[in-house]
Amino acid sequence: MTTTPGTSAVPEQQNAQRPAAAPHSTLRRRLAELRGGPGVPPRPLDARALAALASNPGCRRRALLDGAGVDKNALASALGAPTAFGQSQFAFVRGNAFEARVKADGGAELVRLLCGRSGDAAPESSDEVAVPDLAADGPAGRAARTGLALEEASAAGRWTVLDHPMLTLDVAGSAVYLEPDAVAVHPDGGLTVVEIKSFPILDGSADPAKVGAAARQAAVYALALERAAGVRRGHGAPPAPEDSSGVRPEALLVCPKDFSNLPAAALVDVRRQVASTRRQLTRLARLDEIAGAVPEGTTFALSLPADALRDAVASVPASYAPECLAGCELAFHCRSAAREQGAVTALGRGARAELGSLATVESVLAAAGGPQGNGRGGGAPDEPAAVALRRAARLRAEAADEEAGTCR
């Protein structure tokens, strides 16, 4: 339901006298080479991809592929490990129809749904709700028009609905354009992110997993909206928490009620998701650092033979975890590689954290079988993880002996 035109690349500066343009232009050329050449259009990032990226900030592979605009779904198919991400055509059409139904009266229905949950006074007619035109040339032009509309809406002191505004967010040194379903501007200048989803609210509750995913997406939009609100105030920083004209801590989630096409709404607290996403995005390594560590001449062009493409992907370190299966197109490929290497990351982040420097299943089994181990993947004999493994193996052996004695 949310379309995200734009590009993740930083616009190239045209003024040769400005020295700051050179690093950005160099990075842009490098990312284009990784993508397969300037003739290959970059695949834009969206809030869903950013939420998945922020959930695994240690994965340099995903950061580089997303930053370069590589089509990871096509890349996974070329590697022989395709995934089935995305909505079905039926769900897509149904979602667009529901969104159009919600916005059919010029945003008044959205405002009424929001007021019904927030306790604010609802407008009596659609004439009391402004819906400014945000059309402009290109994503940069639309982002500038959105900033102007935010400033005008704040000064107007009335309800305003921004339909598909364009926001920007800096991710690992690259500008990303984002397009939420809507943003509601309160009469006091407060801002509420609106997420319109096609999954139903049944008897007042919805699928927790889908609500959680929507909250993570809304958190990404809230971060971008904070930046836009800061720019509109002239200092580029988010407003103070006590400022009523800042981004509200709750996003409005609008879904079909039961099995009808009537809208139902709920306010979802996204403060935890915003804090987590901000922290994780801050931890992401810069794209120029990741790209600089990749061997010269490496490219992810889909025209390459499968073996060459597999080597190119392997040249960028990954941080696989089973959670990747829910949000990354390359998850099946990375899982196969982790299993071939016997990496304990395939067992989950919890197990990986408990095992310390024991990085492979082979080293774990060796540590459990004796005090020396085989040294592969690290792990001193007196390391707590190794000691715990030997104790667990001893208890298991004792239990097996007792069971065998009972059977006899």
- The reported pTM is 0.70
Instruction: Give yes or no for residue 395 having a pLDDT over 50.
Output: yes
> pLDDT confidence of 204, banded at 50, 70, 90?
confident
Position 373 scores a pLDDT of 40
> pLDDT confidence of 381, banded at 50, 70, 90?
low
Rounded mean pLDDT of 135-142?
92
H/E run at residue 256: strand 250-256
- Mean pLDDT is lowest, of 115-124, 184-193, 222-231, 346-355, for 346-355
How far apart are alpha carbons 215 and 51 in whole angstroms?
10
Residue 23 carries which side chain, given as an amino acid letter?
Answer: P
Rounded mean pLDDT of 131-139?
92
Rounded mean pLDDT of 264-291?
86
- Mean pLDDT is lowest, of 40-44, 125-129, 146-150, 404-408, for 404-408
Percent of the chain with pLDDT over 90: 35
> pLDDT confidence of 21, banded at 50, 70, 90?
very low
Residue 206 carries which side chain, given as an amino acid letter?
Answer: A
User: Which contacts (CB < 8 Å, 24+ apart) does range 377-386 have?
Assistant: 383/356, 383/357, 383/358, 384/356, 385/354, 385/355, 385/356, 385/357, 385/358, 386/358
How far apart are alpha carbons 98 and 110 in whole angstroms?
12
How far apart are alpha carbons 185 and 188 in whole angstroms?
8
> pLDDT confidence of 63, banded at 50, 70, 90?
confident
Q: Decide if 25 contacts 12 (C-beta within 8 A).
A: yes
Percent of the chain with pLDDT over 70: 84
How far apart are alpha carbons 302 and 377 in whole angstroms?
33
Rounded mean pLDDT of 313-333?
89
Q: Which residues pair with 253 in a beta bridge?
A: 195, 266
Position 135 scores a pLDDT of 93
> pLDDT confidence of 86, banded at 50, 70, 90?
low
- Mean pLDDT is lowest, of 239-243, 245-249, 332-336, 363-367, for 239-243
DSSP 126: G
